[in-house]
Amino acid sequence: MREAHPIETAVGMEHYVSDADGVGGRLRDEDRDFRVTELEQFGAEPLDADTGSYPHLVVRATLAGWDTNDFARRLSDALGISRERVSWAGTKDKHAVTTQLFSLRSVDPDDLPDVRGAEMTPVGRAGRAVQFGDLAGNEFAVVVRDPERPENADAIIEELRAFTGGDADADDGATTVGVPNYFGQQRFGSRRPVTHEVGLHVVREEWEAAVMAYVGNPYETEPEDTRRARRRVEEVAPDWDAALDALPRKLGFERAMVHELVENGGDAPADFRAALEALPTNLQRLLVNAAQSYAFNRMLSERLRRGLPFDRPVEGDVVAFAETVDGLTVPDTDRRQRVTAERVRTVERHCERGRAFVTAPLVGTETELADGEQGDVERAVLADLDLAPEDFDLPGEFDSSGTRRAILVRTDLELDRDPLTFEFSLPSGSYATVLLREFLKTDPLDVS
């Protein structure tokens, strides 16, 4: 089994599925080389709908070179509103051209500002904000520049096809391939993959350690000026005034946290928790989500190492039955079944026909672990991380009841040769880079 790059191993992705050498090359030489279009499932009323009943303006935005959080902050600043009044369904990468929905509470279409690198079109009004569950999936068109071995793509496709159980080609000539449904590098920070480290401290209620892991903790792949600032914070803490002076303005979230410590004194656990709560609510949730995602990745890597199948269950697995959303077949994690010895073959047939998915947990307070060998995998990973489901009974945005997630993601892949271009669709929450890493097998910074 081919080992992953050390940066990937650090976030729990320990192996590749395919043994063939990669094609090499680079992603995102230009933003237009990585195009993402949301598959939406959000209904909006006409623009002239009553603003009392439908206070949220729904906007479709095409963004070039914008991280979603940064764009939301820029948009809220331009409108003079709180960032909490800007909502979206899916967070997208900065180095891409992305088309996605936003909702803006109590904003008039005529007030939309001009923002560099953004084209915004009002599409209607809604009675509630756009939320994560409103995203069915994403379509991708990704160009690989300067591949050294483009011919290797065929061998990799065959290995990924076999990983799905050897499905036939799709009706449109595409090939059905599959990979472990890992959380990609972006979930943890592409250049500074520490979000899960912060989240693990949060789950253990180590509030000061969580703050320092976020604000200090320099990482070798980030720019030198931010490394220098983080080292300075570690040197001067707990002199929070000096720490604030050390942080450049571009580290806005870090500055907000340290400012909270300046205001509160920064010498009690409650002060450090308040500093973390200075982050936007979606980022507070992301910290715990990253800890859950890291544990999930570790579980998938261990299942892969043990040679357990991903496309079909073994005794003790928990499966989720399928539903179809906007043409994508996705797991309905509210419809689950534990696979007994007597039911293995029956559930195998459901999985072969795309009617069910084997799952692993995103651990939370309501998590029930699997039985059998997969249960051994889940318990071993949690023991190694010193985690238990009850640890996620936390205050505010840090609380999580948990869920389960499919361990395999399939897609119909189309490949063009000149330039080398991959076109595919993935359900919400699955990462294009997890598929593309199998093809490039390069430094993750050339993929993420």
Does pLDDT of 275 surpass 60? Answer: yes
The reported pLDDT for the residue numbered 343 is: 95
Question: Would you say residue 321 has pLDDT above 90?
Answer: yes
Partners of residue 275 on adjacent β-strands: none
Q: Which residues are catalytic?
A: 93
pLDDT higher at 408 or 221: 408
pTM: 0.90
pLDDT above 70: percentage of residues in the chain: 98
Q: What CATH fold (topology level) applies to the domain 290-406?
A: Pseudouridine synthase (3.30.2350)
Quick check: 273 pLDDT over 90?
yes
% pLDDT > 90, the chain: 85
Q: Which of 186, 29, 179 is nearest to 96 (CA)?
A: 29
Predicted local distance difference test score (pLDDT) of residue 258: 98
> Max alpha carbon distance in the chain (Å)?
65
Structure tokens at 33: 């080389």
Which residues, in sequence order, are CB contacts of 372 under 8 Å at separation 6+?
A: 314, 315, 316, 317
Going from the C-alpha of 111 to that of each of 104, 126, 259, the distances in angstroms are 11, 17, 32
pLDDT range class, residue 349, cuts 50, 70, 90: very high
| Closest C-alpha among 257, 229, 188 to residue 11 | 188
- Is 80 exceeded by the pLDDT of residue 20? yes
User: Is the Cβ–Cβ distance between 212 and 275 less than 8 Å?
Assistant: no
CA angle 441, 288, 37 (to 5 degrees): 55
Q: Under a CB-based contact definition with an 8 Å cutoff, are residues 158 and 291 in contact?
A: no
Q: Which residues face 72 on adjacent strands?
A: none
Distance of alpha carbon 350 from alpha carbon 339, whole angstroms: 12
Helix, strand or coil, per DSSP, at residue 65: coil
pLDDT at 170: 54
Q: What is the pLDDT of residues 194-222, one digit of tens each?
A: 999 999 999 999 999 999 999 999 998 89
Contact 7, 311 (CB under 8 A): no
CATH topology for 33-136?
A: Alpha-Beta Plaits (3.30.70)
| pLDDT(447) > 90 | no
Mean pLDDT of the chain: 94
- Which tens digits make up the pLDDT trace of 24-83? 999 999 999 999 999 888 889 999 999 999 999 999 999 999 989 899 999 999 999 999
Class of domain 195-279: mainly alpha
pLDDT at position 92 is 87
pLDDT band at 178 (very low <50, low <70, confident <90, very high): very high
Return the domain boundaries, the chain: 6-27+144-181+409-446, 33-136, 195-279, 290-406
Strands 318-325 and 328-338: antiparallel
In the three-class reduction of DSSP (H, G, I as helix; E, B as strand; rest coil), residue 27 is classed as coil
